[in-house]
Structure 1
């Protein structure tokens, strides 16, 4: 286990920009990263599994969780509820883990408000709007009306990019994954995340001086 403090890495992006794939690949690559599973009311896609990809909930179930204050953040995106359950996030940070999550811009804002010193916000951008449209069409998961809605939402999301700490251009998936991994490494090594390690080293040095 690392001696540095745990933190949250938020990956946000327009729909179809590859944020979930990047999160999953980072989790595979690093043993200090845990992927945060969101809850949602949207329909399950082919090959998706409950409690692995998402916690799939009915609208009534989700609204009951809201009433019980079970979410760090929640929002309505593309007409569906999405939320980040509280139960495990804080515990993982205390265990010095890096919690990676893919959420919308509204959710990223809420995470920053809740964890101002323990959150890193990364925005994933496609190389251009044409590439984003092609990805949405190639997924074959949405009808044209839904795709138009997602492209409209993408414009609004990109307007808020100034609230993020980093931008990663995903025109090459492997390169984008490397870029996110590099950001995590840099954040892991920041002084304020390693205060316990520094304090221990100073104490050990004092003890050594006494012996000498």
Structure 2
């Protein structure tokens, strides 16, 4: 017997409120503008929060524990890894980085969407762990010349580092077809609008809104009563 038949009424707003959250993954080669798009999404979308990773890297003076990262010991990280408490993890330049599973699952179960700014390997690990919850977007620069120009304009890296980032981009771009969506960031506003449209459309996906079925059953039952009594 459905909830509609037992007299329980579910409104459209209530059905939407019972939606399971999604994991919005943004990946890109350096210089594609991914971080800017991510920042704008977090500023404009109230139901979107950033996934905060754990890391064994020492905290920089400008960083705040619990805001930029959760800074933990190597021993603690390895415990989390061995207990399968991480959705994804990697070792980069001798330091561990990973995504704790419990905070993400808590957010998703409450209908909160979570933004991930991670690389390709991290994305593939999320696929293996929780593919139905993941919506992945690969962001590209409009050209290699523009990507190089952006990296130089940032003035954050030495020429050697920039060259290394460009070499890394070769391998990264080969995996574009494994992402759900691809955005070419030639115009930042248009690229941001595209990412926001993807997020809003994916929130309406039928599989994420199981309670909508109860809402529809209720309408069908009301309509049946009206037509039977006509």
The bucket for the TM-score relative to the shorter chain is 0.7 to 0.9
Corresponding residue of 2:188: 173
Find 1:27's aligned residue among 30, 42, 48. 42
Q: Closer, same or farther in 2 for the Cα pair 1:45/1:163, shift >3 Å?
A: farther
Find 1:129's aligned residue among 124, 144, 147. 144
Q: Is the 8 A contact 1:78 1:149 kept in 2?
A: no
Q: TM-score, normalised by structure 2?
A: 0.80
Quick check: which has more Rg, 1 or 2?
A: 2
Q: Is the 8 A contact 1:16 1:136 kept in 2?
A: yes
1:84 aligns with 2:84: no
Corresponding residue of 1:39: 54
Please, which runs of 5 or more residues in structure 1 have no aligned partner? Answer: none
Q: Is the 8 A contact 1:24 1:35 kept in 2?
A: no
Please, which runs of 5 or more residues in structure 2 have no aligned partner? Answer: 1-15
Q: Is the 8 A contact 1:9 1:120 kept in 2?
A: yes
CA displacement at 1:58 relative to structure 2: 5.8
Q: Closer, same or farther in 2 for the Cα pair 1:10/1:197, shift >3 Å?
A: same
Corresponding residue of 2:160: 145
1:66 aligns with 2:75: no
Q: Closer, same or farther in 2 for the Cα pair 1:131/1:22, shift >3 Å?
A: same
Corresponding residue of 1:2: 17
Corresponding residue of 1:110: 125
CA distance in 2, matches of 1:31, 1:75: 29
Q: Closer, same or farther in 2 for the Cα pair 1:172/1:58, shift >3 Å?
A: farther
Q: Is the 8 A contact 1:78 1:150 kept in 2?
A: no
CA displacement at 1:70 relative to structure 2: 3.0
Q: Closer, same or farther in 2 for the Cα pair 1:154/1:78, shift >3 Å?
A: farther
Q: TM-score, normalised by structure 1?
A: 0.86
Q: Is the 8 A contact 1:41 1:81 kept in 2?
A: yes
Q: Closer, same or farther in 2 for the Cα pair 1:101/1:23, shift >3 Å?
A: same
Find 1:16's aligned residue among 9, 31, 37. 31
CA displacement at 1:45 relative to structure 2: 6.5
CA distance in 2, matches of 1:79, 1:134: 30
CA distance in 2, matches of 1:179, 1:46: 35
CA distance in 1, matches of 2:178, 2:203: 21
